[in-house]
Amino acid sequence: MSPAEEIQRRRTFAIISHPDAGKTTLTEKLLLYGGAVQLAGSVTARKSQRAATSDWMELERKRGISITSTVLQFDYRGFRINLLDTPGHRDFSEDTYRVLTAVDAVIMVIDAGKGIEAQTRKLFEVCRQRGVPIFTFMNKLDRPTKDPLELLDELERVLGIGAYPVNWPLGTGFEFRGVYDRQAKQVHLFEKIPGGGQYMPPVNVTGLDAPLVREKLDESSYARTFEELEMLEIAGVEYREEEVQAGRQTPVFFGSAMNNFGVQLLLDAFVERAAPPGPRTAGEAGLIEPARPDFSGFIFKIQANMDPRHRDRIAFLRVCSGRFDRDMQVVHSRTKKKVRLSNAHRLFAKDRETIEEAWPGDIVGLVGYHDFGIGDTLSEDGGVVFHEIPRFPPECFAFLHNPNTAKFKQFRQGLDQLLQEGVVQLFHIVGSLTKTPLLAAVGPLQFEVVQYRLETEYGAESRLENASWEAARWLPPDVELSKLKLPTGVSAAEDSNGGIALLFPSDWTQRYFRETNPGVELRELA
């Protein structure tokens, strides 16, 4: 294939949702329909072990939540799919935010019985700020749901995005019988099969006026379906591809991920409608087009010890332009050093295989490069520097103590690695004589992950001491700390990059600071 053809067939996306909306289940079913797994919920070559393919950390399996984001790459209908599974728990929002810098689109999963929830709104706002196209999957139609028209209205009213239903449900809850494809003008009838959705069920496809459809639906449901479809044609939004690509309109799909219904319709429509990799802005270098011949990419995630048998470290690189070749030499933007990329892998959860080439949109796992950090650019042209990764304001703070001085080396080594991965942020209180690290995170569960991984991966115990601050706000570089009036309870702290942040215990102290220090504009992002 030509470089242009390779780029055109790439689809790189993430799945976002509020916890328990069905994100991990939908991920599994996309892999099932994509041919990447043979049994939903199984791990290839693990004797059909019943654990989510994308959730590999033991703590994830114990809690039943996704803590880390993983990469799942597979081919489908001639397209190369890069699916980035993200943490669903709100405490790990920062990891999700970083992943959203590396994708070209997202699938937003909504529990049709609950509608738009808090975490959905938060993640949607991040997508909106970045102009990321959004495809919506209304999940759990086989359970009691809100009215479908109400769900569409909620998308437009709460999120402020136009909603175009690509298909429409025939009944909901116990009366759910299938969906009507509005463009193909075909009915896909829902059939629940034994096995809990492990396998792809048979699907009957027919016309809306077919006798089989009339048999499945009672008279009132059949009439209501016609009324709703007519209303959508008259008063609904018109599908506009340019609006979808700009993130101002979302194609909406209905189904049940648990029972595999509507998943293939979503996947087929997504690969056809989603855009291939687009250009990226790189500071002084300007707009970097994917077709640019020189290779460039940025690191959006670092993960250590994915394979407990090897204490390795993987940097996840999003390819932005040119062709990546294994063993190629690139410039590391932060150190200005030349680096040979000989240890590159294609990833599928924690399974990996050596790759020889990759193209824009692909995610490459670079193993063993300890100088690489989150946000670093790698390029053939050392003048390309992407600024894709912001730092997000933490809301929880805690001092991490080492109770076993004999294990100080393991404690320090493990903490340094977790800080490089961006699991938490590190601060040091200005003027404090203690060297106890102050950790900061979006949510408290991130501290639990730090302690768990320190013990299981590095054999280092730790003790957590919660701190009373609730927010960090950064000082502009031209403001002198000594000239500020700090309210009682507010402390100044230095971050890992040398920036100075003020730590506030309450909203009141933030307001009081603004009143007593007029003209000083604090920043939420470092």
Tens digits of per-residue pLDDT, 276-328? Answer: 999 999 988 899 999 999 999 999 988 876 655 556 788 999 999 999 999 99
Q: How confident is residue 44, by pLDDT bands cut at 50, 70 and 90?
A: very low
Q: Could you give the count of Cα atoms lying within 13 Å of 490 in the half-sphere of its Cβ?
A: 23
Determine the pLDDT at residue 393.
81
254, 183: one domain: yes
What is the distance between the alpha carbons of residues 71 and 351, in angstroms, rounded to a whole number? 10
Report if residue 384 sits inside a domain: no
Report if residue 162 sits inside a domain: yes
CB-CB neighbours of 176 under 10 Å: 25
230, 335: one domain: no
Determine the pLDDT at residue 433.
85
CB-CB neighbours of 261 under 10 Å: 25
Query: Is the pLDDT score of 123 beyond 80?
Result: yes
* CA-atom Rg of the chain in angstroms: 25
Query: Is the pLDDT score of 470 beyond 90?
Result: yes
Question: pLDDT for 162-187, tens place per residue?
Answer: 999 999 999 999 899 999 999 999 99
94, 111: one domain: yes
Query: Is the pLDDT score of 478 beyond 70?
Result: yes
Question: pLDDT for 194-218, tens place per residue?
Answer: 665 666 666 778 889 899 998 888 8
Determine the pLDDT at residue 5.
97
Last residue of a domain, one of 273, 301, 331: 273
263, 288: one domain: no
Report if residue 187 sits inside a domain: yes
Pick the residue with more confidence: 67 or 63? 63
Q: How confident is residue 65, by pLDDT bands cut at 50, 70 and 90?
A: very low
Report if residue 388 sits inside a domain: no
Tokens of 376: 């670093």
In this structure, what DSSP letter does residue 523 have? B
Mean pLDDT of 333-350: 88
8, 145: one domain: yes
Query: Is the pLDDT score of 41 beyond 80?
Result: no
Mean pLDDT of 256-269: 94
Which of 88-97, 323-332, 450-459, 511-520 is predicted with the least confidence, judged by mean pLDDT?
A: 88-97
175, 201: one domain: yes
Report if residue 253 sits inside a domain: yes
Write the secondary structure of 96-134 as one string of H (helix), E (strand) and C (coil).
HHHHHCCCCEEEEEEECCCCCCHHHHHHHHHHHHHCCCE
Determine the pLDDT at residue 199.
62
Local structure of 20: helix, strand or coil:
coil
Tokens of 9: 């067939």
Chain-centroid distance of CA 363 in Å reads: 14
Say which CATH number the domain at 42 has.
3.40.50.300
Range of the domain at 403: 396-516
Tokens of 358: 């990759």
Percent of the chain clearing pLDDT 90 (strictly above):
61
Mean pLDDT of 55-65: 52
Last residue of a domain, one of 353, 379, 405: 379
Instruction: Name the pairing type of β-strands 396-401 and 438-441.
Output: antiparallel
Chain-centroid distance of CA 396 in Å reads: 21
Determine the pLDDT at residue 38.
61
Percent of the chain clearing pLDDT 70 (strictly above):
88
Q: What are phi and psi of 512, to 5 degrees?
A: -65, -40
Report if residue 523 sits inside a domain: no
Report if residue 391 sits inside a domain: no
Determine the pLDDT at residue 194.
67
Query: Is the pLDDT score of 48 beyond 50?
Result: no
452, 431: one domain: yes
Mean pLDDT of 271-280: 96
Give the sheet arrangement for strand 204-206, strand by strand. 167-170, 178-181, 186-189, 204-206
Q: How confident is residue 45, by pLDDT bands cut at 50, 70 and 90?
A: very low
Determine the pLDDT at residue 305.
66
91, 153: one domain: yes
Last residue of a domain, one of 379, 412, 436: 379
178, 302: one domain: no
Report if residue 42 sits inside a domain: yes
Q: How confident is residue 49, by pLDDT bands cut at 50, 70 and 90?
A: very low
89, 126: one domain: yes
What is the distance between the alpha carbons of residues 53 and 43, in angstroms, rounded to a whole number? 5
Query: Is the pLDDT score of 68 beyond 60?
Result: no
Say which CATH number the domain at 465 has.
3.30.70.3280
CA 88 to each of CA 14, 66, 95: distance values in angstroms, whole numbers, following the listed order: 12, 6, 10
Single pTM value for the model: 0.82
What is the distance between the alpha carbons of residues 288 and 291, in angstroms, rounded to a whole number? 8
> How much is the mean pLDDT over the chain?
88
Question: pLDDT for 382-410, tens place per residue?
Answer: 999 998 887 678 889 999 999 999 999 99
Determine the pLDDT at residue 43.
36
Structural domains counted in the chain: 3
367, 435: one domain: no
Determine the pLDDT at residue 313.
82
Query: Is the pLDDT score of 153 beyond 90?
Result: yes
Determine the pLDDT at residue 56.
45
Question: pLDDT for 416-440, tens place per residue?
Answer: 988 888 889 999 999 988 889 999 9
Q: How confident is residue 57, by pLDDT bands cut at 50, 70 and 90?
A: low
432, 355: one domain: no
